[in-house]
Amino acid sequence: MTPDTAVAAALPPVPLTVEGASVLHQMMRLRRSVWRELSPDLRQEIASEASKALGEMSGTAVYSLLGHKGDLMLVHFRKDFAELNQAELAVARLRLSDYLEPTHSYLSVVELGLYESTSKVYGDLAAKGIQPHSEEWKREIEATLQRQRQAMAPRLWPEIPPARYVCFYPMDRKRGESVNWYMEPMADRKRMMEEHGLIGRRYAGEVRQIITGSIGFDDWEWGVDLFAEDPLVFKKLIYEMRFDQVSAVYALFGSFYVGLRVQPQDLAGIL
């Protein structure tokens, strides 16, 4: 093993990340048989109450889902988990919640991976002879992360895009017997992620992508939200990425949820 190889092997395999907004997706099905038993006036009253409350919830968007996986999806972007909890409780207090059956939910935080910065800062610290995980190492890493948080603040704390359509799905990196993303060297993962990112950047004018991390928070490792005016862009982007090494070899995908944005004042119309 060469000296450079020995140094690389001693460095942490985990890429640095910076985190921002806390995110909760709530998927729900309307209990239509029970809803229909209410008088039209009561349905309108309950819907109006929900419309007013949701309209006053900054950082919350409502979507009408397509398909059998639910009727509504609420997406909440908040400062932290405590605020997400308050948003969830506010929804639960609505009379409309008596007629909504949860079908799924997803908890995560906006996450930006820093493969490029990780390689550079790890290499610089190793060149200075600073031991991984020492106090000096931790100070240098935190200084790097703080600079990145400031530079990337708009991406870490985004508003929910106003696009007409949303596509949400969770995903993992494979950890099976034949391939294991987490056993690949940092340099190889960095290269593959750079190639992966090039595809997304080609769609920058057509789709807005927000990646959230959920390791330790939910059943999958990441959540992906795509926002666009034309839903066909979801198919084209994701199909093209299927041929990318990161997706073709290492990616596993969960269920996809596609919905249309609904303004709170129009909620009664879809109920």
Q: Are 114 and 39 in contact (CB under 8 A)?
A: no
Strands 60-65 and 17-30: unpaired
Q: How far is the C-alpha of 183 from the C-alpha of 29, rounded, in Å?
A: 40
Chain segment 175-192, per-residue pLDDT in tens: 876 888 888 888 888 888
Catalytic residue ranges? 169
Overall pTM surpassing 0.85 (yes/no)? yes
Give the pLDDT band of residue 4 (cuts 50, 70, 90).
very low
Look at residue 66 and tell me whether its pLDDT is greater than 60.
yes
pLDDT value, residue 178: 81
Class for domain 20-110, per CATH?
alpha beta
* pLDDT on residue 46: 98
H or E segment and range at residue 115: helix 115-127
Give pLDDT tens digits for 239-268: 888 888 888 888 889 999 999 999 999 999
pLDDT of 1: 38
| Rounded CA separation 15/271 (Å) | 45
Domain coordinates of the chain in residue numbers? 20-110
For residue 65, which amino acid is it? L
